[in-house]
A = this chain, B = another copy of it.
Amino acid sequence: MTTYATELALREAGLRATRQRLTVLDALRGRGDTVTAQDLHMELRQAGEPIGLTTVYRTLAALADAGFLDTFDREGEQAFRLCGDAHHHHLVCETCNTVEEITAEEVERWVHEVASARGFSVTGHRADIFGVCPACRG
């Protein structure tokens, strides 16, 4: 179900709306967990989608670069996940890799207090919580 809005969003980011990019975005849309390029490529191929591994790597990098995806590190591998527009943090289930987005004014405030107290100019920050989700605990 590729929406027209998706194509617009891609163009806005200076990316052509190719079949492969729409495929990747569609695949990402359904899921709340993180995926690596390798994972996603295999899934898409198994689902019959013709797409190259190189393209999956490049697409995920481009989408992350354009702010469509959040990035995570799964021990050496880079994993990605579709994200909302606003800045947020993450509640990550270490068992199923599902990610819930959380906002936190408390953290934002803390970030600027700490940084300015030490004379740092802030370029970014990240606050993630790791745990096991209710579903995985059974």
Task: Please report A residues at the B interface, Cβ cutoff 8 Å.
Answer: 73, 76, 78, 91, 93-94, 100, 102, 104, 106-107, 110-111, 114-115, 118-134, 137
7 residue pairs bridging A and B, Cβ less than 8 Å apart: A76-B78, A94-B123, A106-B110, A110-B127, A119-B134, A126-B127, A126-B128
What's the least CB distance linking A137 to chain B, in Å? 6
Chain copies in complex: 2
A121 CA to B119 CA, complexed, in Å: 35
Known: A115-B129, A126-B128. A120 touches B91 (CB 8 A): yes
- Contact partners of A78 in chain B: CB under 8 A: 76
A93 CA to B133 CA, complexed, in Å: 33
- Contact partners of A115 in chain B: CB under 8 A: 91, 129, 131
- Contact partners of A102 in chain B: CB under 8 A: 114
A118 CA to B122 CA, complexed, in Å: 30
Closest B residue to A110 using CB positions: B106
Known: A78-B76, A110-B107. A100 touches B118 (CB 8 A): yes
